Amino acid sequence: MSDKLLIFGAGGHAKVVADIALKMDRWKEIAFLDDQENTKKPMGLHVLGTIKDYHTYIEDYDIFVAIGNNKTRKNIMMTLQSEGVSMPTLIHPRAVIGKQVILACGTVVMGGVVINCCTKIGHGCIINTGATIDHDSVLDDYVHVSPGVHISGTVHIGEGTWLGTGSVVINNIIITSGCKVGAGAVVVKDIHKSGTYVGTPVRRVEG
Ligand SMILES: CC(=O)SCCNC(=O)CCNC(=O)[C@H](O)C(C)(C)COP(=O)(O)OP(=O)(O)OC[C@H]1O[C@@H](n2cnc3c(N)ncnc32)[C@H](O)[C@@H]1OP(=O)(O)O
């Protein structure tokens, strides 16, 4: 645990992550690493270098990987975890987290989110703005729950699955790993085969 936080990435998602970290008021210094050459002081914070420079910083900084792509985020996080890097969990002060909710490290919970009791959320997940996740649900590692998603009670979402903006999952559903669920989709039956699913109720498409 450090009083300095280094955020990997400096794009739109990383800026929201930085905003949450600033609101948490826990770190004296917050900065980015980013591979885009022309990134200049996003959110008024410094970009210290590119992601390959990270070895220079891992002793002194907490690290948060703010990359939206689930596979890329997983690959970077697994490398960092094997090096024993300190990774916080970021929770917006205006998120509502129920009792007996477990949130693993490297996960961000954004503003307006509600996570109800007895839910377990894995490493490196993104619980985006205004999403709700109801009781007794389990989200495996590297899941992205986009803005305004509603996950009902006792749902299991497999590793690396992405739920698009405003999608809905009814209660007692299992969605396997590596799925993409389109914006506005409604999931009413278990999904056992990885792939892209859209519509109400969802159908599998080539994506
Ligand atoms: C803070 C933030 O911004 S977080 C980011 C939030 N972003 C999102 O929620 C984006 C969610 N993404 C989507 O909905 C995408 O359209 C995806 C992932 C479902 C599919 O994307 P792609 O893999 O590029 O597939 P593609 O665009 O070729 O669509 C495949 C088919 O599904 C249809 N389709 C795609 N998305 C949807 C959707 N959300 N609802 C209904 N139909 C859809 C397409 O019209 C196409 O149909 P067709 O074959 O009959 O022409």
Q: Say what the ipTM of the complex is.
A: 0.98
In the structure, which protein residues have their CB atom closer than 6 angstroms to any atom of ligand 1?
128, 146-147, 164-165, 180, 182-184, 196, 198-199, 205, 207
Write the residue with the smallest CA distance to atom 23 of ligand 1.
207
Q: Across all residues in the chain, what is the average pLDDT?
A: 97
Please give the average per-residue pLDDT across 73-78, as a whole number: 97
pLDDT at residue number 30: 98
156-177: burial string, b at 16+ Cβ within 10 Å, e else: bbbbbbbbbbbbbbeeebbbbe
pLDDT band at 121 (very low <50, low <70, confident <90, very high): very high
pLDDT band at 40 (very low <50, low <70, confident <90, very high): confident
Q: How many Å from the N-terminal Cα to the C-terminal Cα in the chain? A: 41
pLDDT band at 207 (very low <50, low <70, confident <90, very high): confident
Measured CA distances, 127 to 10, 41, 45, 160 (Å): 18, 25, 23, 13
pLDDT at residue number 49: 94
- Feature table: binding site for substrate: 68
Distance 64 CA to ligand 1 centre (A): 28
Please give the average per-residue pLDDT across 130-159, as a whole number: 99
Distance 166 CA to ligand 1 centre (A): 12
pTM over 0.95: yes
Q: Check pLDDT > 80 for residue 22.
A: yes
Q: How far apart are CA 142 and CA 68, in angstroms?
A: 10
123 catalytic? Reply is no
- The atom of ligand 1 lying closest to the CA of 144 is 4
- The atom of ligand 1 lying closest to the CA of 197 is 19
What is the DSSP annotation of 119-140?
A: -EE-TT-EE-TT-EE-TT-EE-
Query: Which two structure tokens, joined as six digits, stand for 91?
Result: 């929770």
Given the residues 135, 150, 156, 192, select the one marked as catalytic.
135
Write the residue with the smallest CA distance to atom 19 of ligand 1.
182
- The atom of ligand 1 lying closest to the CA of 196 is 19
Q: Check pLDDT > 90 for residue 162.
A: yes
| Element containing residue 161 per DSSP (H, E) | none
Q: Check pLDDT > 90 for residue 37.
A: no
Relative to beta strand 132-133, strand 150-151 is parallel
Please give the average per-residue pLDDT across 99-103, as a whole number: 98
Distance 183 CA to ligand 1 centre (A): 7
